[in-house]
Amino acid sequence: MTLRPFLNRTSLYPGESLQSLLTRLVKLNVYPSLRTVQDIVQVALEKPYVSIERPRDIDVLQALFELTGIDKEQLFLASANRFVAIARPEQFADPFEVKTSMTGVMDRWRIGDYLRNDSQVVFCPDCLKEEPYHRLDWSLFASVACLTHRCLLHDRCPECKKKLSIAEVVGAQCSSCRSNLAAAPTIDLEEDDFGLSVQNIIRSWLMHQPADPKFISSLDLPNEPEAILFQVLSGLYRVLKQAKYQFRDGWHSRMIVSPTPRQTYDLFTMAFKVLMHWPFGWFDFLDNYPKYYIDKRSQRRHNLGLNYIYRSLLEQRWKSEQFEFVRAAFDHYLILRHEELPGFTKHLPGYNDSFRIGFVTMDWAARTLGVSSKIIMTLVNAGFLRLDEQNYPGRNPWFMRRVSLEDVINLHEQWQSGCLPSEVAQILNVPEVIIDDLVRHGYILTANDMSEKSSLRIDRDSVFEFLAEARGTGRRSKSQNKSISKLPDL
């Protein structure tokens, strides 16, 4: 594949986005639109569709390199793929791991969580005065302030209030009213040092640029990778957005309405305070998060509270093991809250001391034993785990129930080498003689040699898989030689 380069070329400006560069090249070479360049690349690559603004293939970067003469690494860093490590912290520890293969580029469904779409373009008037082009960090949803000029970004034409495109920002002119975007009034943030510092830290995380280490160390943030911290911050932003401004979460809500730059600025500042002095800021947030809000239009009540936080964040966005520190702090909060300690956010014992109460949350027990929450309820009903009946109000959600820590530890130790047939019979609520038939027909697996009848052990995972299949809530493994998985350390 060899493409004839553009007749008129230009270089990338400092911090310029790839879309901005391509928009300027279209104008320099008098092409009708950006679609013309896209068609050229599609024909050259013999593909039905390619995205040149957000390349998802190394071949697209190669084609753009031949057209523009700009190094592929520079083109990569000017595209949305620069943020892959933030979007997929479970897969990429280094943001530049994907530069050569492009195997981890942004999925379409992930883009809306971190980047603005084409109808949410923002700009700084003072930046456009210096040089009219679109900056890459303006593409970030969390970026709503210009750190150079210490002002809030605009998200529409200041004259006619029309939403803008990148082409209009690059031309510094609204296509509707022809007003000069560079002449728009600035919204000063000069006095808000903390809010600007938060924006600076967020920008450093997303753009992989250094921030003030002395200032960051004074905040007592969780000792976790920056990508994980931003994932937590992003989740907090969403639940705060719904509680404070009643913006419903979900892809459809972003298509209808989005918070203003000022609202986004305030929400991310509030969310960042939750991460400060961890876990005390987290506890204060949980203690003060509203239980519900009333929709101003329909007057309907929408429930929030701990149940909403658990369902939308801990069960969905933060369910991987990388967010264990948040889940542990949530368990800590629930344990302390059950005791209704006065002023508990001011007089907290250490984390290890929290388990002196003797009971742990069912969610913690499930993660420690490596099973689902439904299995924990089965173990409770079978008598393996004792519930804290005294402190459990029946109307609370299941994840606020507590079980005996001693029972959890005992099961953790006993089941390292498998379950006894009598225990399996108790879990399945069947006579013990049935267990031999289930083993013989391959419904459940043994953890040791069948000849050792006196010390026969049953594979714990196969029991729970069979139970899930019998209930219609899961699917058994196809492998009949599944190895015994060890339970996680306490």
- Please report, for residues 48, 334, 349, the alpha-carbon distance to residue 352 in angstroms, rounded to integers and kept in the order given: 58, 14, 8
- Picking from 171, 139, 168, the residue whose alpha carbon sits closest to that of residue 54 is 139
- Predicted local confidence at residue 18, as pLDDT: 93
Distance of CA 474 to the CA centre of its chain: 26
Among candidates 317, 236, 366, 86, which has minimal Cα distance to 95?
86
The DSSP annotation for 171-207 comes to HTB-TTT--BGGGSPPEE-TT-HHHHHHHHHHHHHHH
Instruction: Enumerate the domain spans of the chain.
Output: 18-106, 116-191, 210-354, 358-490
Secondary structure letter of residue 484 according to DSSP: P
DSSP class of 486: P
SS3 82: helix
HSE-up (13 A, CA, CB side) for residue 424: 30
**Helix %, strand %, coil % for the chain, to 5?**
50, 5, 45
Residue 135 phi/psi, 5-degree rounding, is: -85, 145
Contact indicator for 201, 272 with CB cutoff of 8 Å: yes
pLDDT at residue 105, rounded to an integer: 53
Give the separation between CA 464 and CA 440, rounded to whole angstroms: 17
**DSSP conformation class of 311:** I
Six-digit token string for 146: 């210009």
Residue 389: name the closest of 373, 409, 378, 404 by CA: 404
Q: Residue 474 corresponds to which tokens in the numbers above?
A: 């899961």
Which of 336, 212, 233, 214 has its CA nearest to residue 275? 233
Cα 19 to chain centroid distance, Å, stands at: 25
Whole-number pLDDT of residue 449 = 60
**Token output for 85:** 């490590």
Closest CA to 418 of 460, 450, 372, 466: 460
User: Which of 80, 171, 79, 185 has the alpha carbon at shortest distance from 131?
Assistant: 171
Q: Report the distance separating Cα 336 and Cα 480, nearest Å.
A: 44
The secondary structure of 243-282 as a DSSP string is HHH-PPPSHHHHHH----HHHHHHHHHHHHHHHTTTTHHH
Tell me which residue has tokens 């603004």.
53
Cα–Cα distance measured from residue 376 to residue 401, given in angstroms and rounded to the nearest whole number: 11
pLDDT tens for the chain, 490 residues long, are 578 888 899 999 999 999 999 999 999 999 998 888 888 888 888 888 888 887 877 888 888 998 999 988 889 889 887 877 676 665 554 544 444 445 445 444 455 567 887 778 999 999 999 999 999 999 988 999 999 999 999 999 999 999 999 999 999 999 999 999 999 999 999 889 999 999 999 998 888 777 778 888 889 999 998 889 999 999 999 889 887 776 554 433 443 457 889 999 999 999 999 999 999 999 999 888 887 666 666 667 666 777 788 888 888 888 888 898 998 888 888 767 655 433 333 333 333 334 445 777 777 788 778 887 788 888 888 888 888 766 554 545 555 677 887 888 888 877 877 888 888 888 888 888 888 888 888 888 887 665 555 577 888 888 888 887 777 654 444 333 333 333 333 3
CA distance 165 to 119: 7
Using alpha carbons only, what angle is made at residue 425 by residues 424 and 429, rounded to the nearest 5 degrees? 120
Count Cα atoms within 13 angstroms, Cβ side, for 259: 25
- Predicted TM-score of the model (pTM): 0.70
Partnered with residue 387 across adjacent β-strands are 403
